[in-house]
Amino acid sequence: MPTRNILSKGGDWFGGEGPHHQIVVSSRVRLARNLSGKPFPGWAKKVERSAILDLIRPQVEGLPEMSEASSVSCQDLSALEKQVLVERHLISREHAAKGLGSAVVMNRRQTLSIMINEEDHLRMQALRSGLQLRAAFKAINKVDTELEEKLDFAFDSKLGYLTACPSNVGTGMRASAMLHVPALVLSDQINQVVQAVNKIGLAVRGLYGEGTEALGNLFQISNQTTLGEREEEILERLQKVILQVIEHEQNARKTLLQNRPNTLLDHIGRSYGILRHAYSMNSKEALNLLSLAKLGCDLGFYPDNQRRAVDELFMETQPAHLQKGSQKKLATEERDILRSDIIRKKLETFSAPDVDGVMRRGKEGSGAPADPDSAPGTRGQAPFSE
C-alpha cells in the first residue's frame, strides 16, 4: 500500500539543503480554499461533508503533480500513522483528529500535501528545505490554478478567497519558515527578536512545546494577516524579516565564538558526550542536544558529512517516528531508552568536536565559517524594519 511506503521514509523537504539551509530548516506555503456555497467542514453535516470530499478528491488525485501520490481517508489511518504525518508537517494536528469525510493527498516526495475537509474544504501546502518561500508558493499556486478550473471556489471581489475563519480570508495564504537559532537563545537575544518580529505583524512561535517554550531552538515565523496585501507582498515582507533574523543569528554565533568561547565549547562538548553516551533520553532533551550538535556542524566543529545524521535524528527521535518501528505500544521509559539507542547508533562514528581547528580558524581572522549565501554585516541590535 502506497501510504505505508510514504510513512516508511522521510520527505525530500527535510534534506538540509536549499539557500540558507544552516539556519532555515524549511519553508512552507499553504493556501486555504473552499467551494462556493457549500457549508464549511466544521458546519457541514456528515452526509454533506462526504459529498464534498467525493467532489474534491478526484480532482486533487487527477492533478499532474499527484501522478504518484498517496491518497488516504482519515478514517483509514491509525492514530500512530496520523502522528507520523503530523511530525513530518504533512497534516495538521486538527486534521489528525478527523475521521470519516476527510482525507489527505500527498505526492511521493512529500513536498506537496493537500488536506480535504480540514477547517476549510481545501488546505494545500508546499514544503521546501532551506529558505525557498517563493519556490514553495510557485508550486502551490500552480496546483491552485489547476484546481480552480475544475472546482468553483468561494471568492468575493472585495474579500478575496472566503475561509471558515475570518483570519484567513483574502489570499488564504499562510507562509512560514522554520528557523534554527541556537545562538540567539544562548545569548538571551531571542525574546528581543521575537518581540520585534511580532511588532511588524508576523507571528513567531516555538516549533515544539507549548506556549513560549521552544524546543531544539527551533522557531517558526509566519505571516499573520491575509487580507489587504498581494501574495508576493506578504512573501517579500516575510523574506526580508527572515534574512534579518539570519543575520542576527550569524552575528550572535560570531560573538559567542569570540567573546564567550568557553560557554560555547562547554555546550558543544557536553552535547557530544551526552548524545554519544546516554542510555535514556526524553524528547525534549534530545531536541535540545541535537540542536547543539547541529550548531557544531555549522561552526565547523564536525566535518560536513556528519550533518545529515544530525538532521535525520531531529525527525527520527520524535515520539511517533520512534514508535512506528515497534510492534507494540511503548511506555514512556521504553521510548526514552529506544531514543538514546537510536541516537548512539547513528552517531557511532561521529568524530569528537574539532575544538583546536575551530579556534585556530577563528584567530586567523576569517571568523567562524559562515553561511556562504548570506551577506556578513554588523548591524546593531534592533534593525527590524519592513
Partner 1 sequence: MLCDVCKVETASVFLTQIVEGKMQKVNMCEACSKEKGVSDPTGFALADLLLGMGAAQPVERSAAEGNRCPKCGFTHSEFTKTGRLGCSVCYSTFSEGLEGMLKGMHKGMRHTGKCPERLQRSLALENEVRTLTQELRSAVEGERYEEAAALRDKIKTLESENLKAAGAGEK
**Contact positions toward partner 1, by CB under 8 A?**
34, 36-40, 42-43, 45, 55, 119, 141, 144-145, 148-149, 152-162, 164-167, 169-171, 173, 201, 225-231
Between 232 and 333, CB nearer to partner 1: 232
- The phi and psi torsions of 15 (rounded to 5 degrees) equal -90, -5
Give the span between the Cα atoms of 74 and 151, in whole angstroms: 22
CB of 102 to partner 1, least distance (A): 15
* Least gap, CB of 44 to partner 1 (angstroms): 8
10 Å Cβ neighbour count for 259? 10
Q: Which is nearer to partner 1, 16 or 172 (CB)?
A: 172
By beta-carbon proximity to partner 1, the closer residue of 37 and 365 is 37
* Cβ distance to partner 1 smaller for residue 157 or 327: 157
Query: Which CB atom, from 13 or from 161, has the smaller least distance to partner 1?
Result: 161
| Size of the chain, expressed as the number of residues it contains | 386
Sign of CA dihedral 294, 298, 300, 304: positive
Cα(195)–Cα(213) distance, rounded to whole angstroms? Answer: 15
In terms of CB distance, is 55 or 315 closer to partner 1? 55
Nearest approach, Cβ of 213 to partner 1 (angstroms)?
25
Helix, strand or coil for residue 178? strand
Q: Cβ 224 to partner 1, closest distance in Å?
A: 8
Least Å distance, CB 239 to partner 1, is 16
Q: Which three cell numbers stand for residue 271?
A: 552535547
Determine the Cα–Cα distance for residues 73 and 116; give it in Å rounded to an integer.
9
Q: Which residue has the cell 511588524?
A: 200
**Smallest distance from partner 1 to CB 119, Å:** 7
DSSP characters for 289-326?
A: HHHHHHHHHHTTSS-GGGHHHHHHHHHHTSHHHHHTT-
Rg (CA), the chain: 22
